[in-house]
Each structure stands twice: as C-alpha cells, then as structure tokens.
Amino acid sequence: MKLTRRSLAVLLLLAILSALLYAQDAPPKEAGTFRQPDLVELVKLDSTIRLDIRYATKNNFTGRAVYKEPRAFLQRPAAEALVRVHNALKSQGYGLVIFDGYRPWKVTKIFWDITPVEKREFVADPAKGSRHNRGCAVDLTMYELQTGKQVRMPSEYDEMTERSHINYQCATPEARRLRDMLRAAMEAEGFNVYEPEWWHYDYKDWRSYPILNISFKEIAHASSSSR
C-alpha cells in the first residue's frame, strides 16, 4: 500500500498529538460547571471504619509508596453514604476496610505509565482522569467484627487477573457470598461497581465533581482553615 504525502502528514500529526497527550503533566481541562469540592476524611466521620492504605506503603502493585500519608478522603455525599453502608453491614457482622479513596491526578498518571498496555483496564487513563481524582470512587473490602480480620475475597486487592472481576464464579462459595454482600450494601447507597475490580465502587454523582490534583496535606489544611 502506497501512502500519499497527505496521508503521511496526517499520520505524523496524529503521532505528535498522541505524544503530547500522553506526555501531559497536568490534569485534562474540562468544560462545564462542577460542584465545589468538599473532601472529608472518612475516619473522622466514623472511627470504626478501618484503613489499609496500601499506596502509602510498598505493599502495592507499584512496589513503592506513592502517598506520603495513609489517609482516605471522599466528597461529603459519598463519604456519608459510605458510613451508612458501614452501619448496615454491622448488623451482618462486618465492617468496612478502605484501601483508597480520593486519589490525586498525578498518582493516576504514575499508575498509567507503569502499567503494561494489556493490563490497562485496571488503571484509569490520565487523559480522561479517574473517578478517584474526583473524590467519588472508593476501593474497599470488609472485616469481621468478631475477629477484626479482613475477609477473603475471590482475589487480592489490585490483582490484575480475571479473578478480580465482579462476576468471576470460580471462587469459593464463601468468597462469592462476601463479595455479593458488599456489592448489595454499596448499591443500596448509590455506589456502582467497576466490573473488572470487585473492590472499586463509583458514587452516583461522580460527574458533578472536577478532576483534582491536590495532596492530602492540602486537603487537611483547607479543612482546618475553614473551621
């Protein structure tokens, strides 16, 4: 197949645009009107919600800490809905463990850059931003109230395999029961699961909030200054 000069010029332009897009070092600019962010710290709403912030440790798929502090924030409506989920699960003998909440855009960019192309369904495209960047996505599991131990789900957190899919059926009956219990409780409060990851849930109003790239320290400082 012989390419014309015009075709070559178009291909070159597309290559340049693609390179510029994925070399970006700032969040994408969005048009529209968004709600004023109101990120709140989950454990300050309910101290019995547990944290296991893997990204503040080396125990995550990057092999290094990408957060300076083990903290979890969500937009206030999502955070309050999550507390209701936590309280509902208590009647069944379980509580929530949070792996991640709001995530600065720059961390989404790190995840994308280090993830092989064939595994990128497990990470968000920084050119579009993540629902974590909007403060309306949460990664979580459950713990047993009686023992304090995390439950065993069909896969590990951030495992990039078919076992992580919400509809994976080759797990033990108990793991499927716990996964389905968490899903039912989350959906009752307006969260929707991201199907490739049983642990990832998006709050229904995520489109109403902008993509953010502020640090946990900046959130905490803004919160204390507004009191």
State the Cα–Cα distance between residues 185 and 35, nearest whole angstrom.
Answer: 26
- Token duo for residue 79: 């955070």
Is 197 a residue of the active site? yes
Residue 133 · residue 105 · CB < 8 Å: yes
To the nearest 10 degrees (0 to 180), the angle between helices 173-187 and 76-90 is 130
Burial classification of residue 71, based on how many CB atoms lie within 10 Å of its CB (0-12 exposed, 13-18 middle, 19 or more buried): buried
Residue of 162, 174, 187, 197 marked catalytic: 197
User: Which residues have a catalytic role annotated?
Assistant: 197
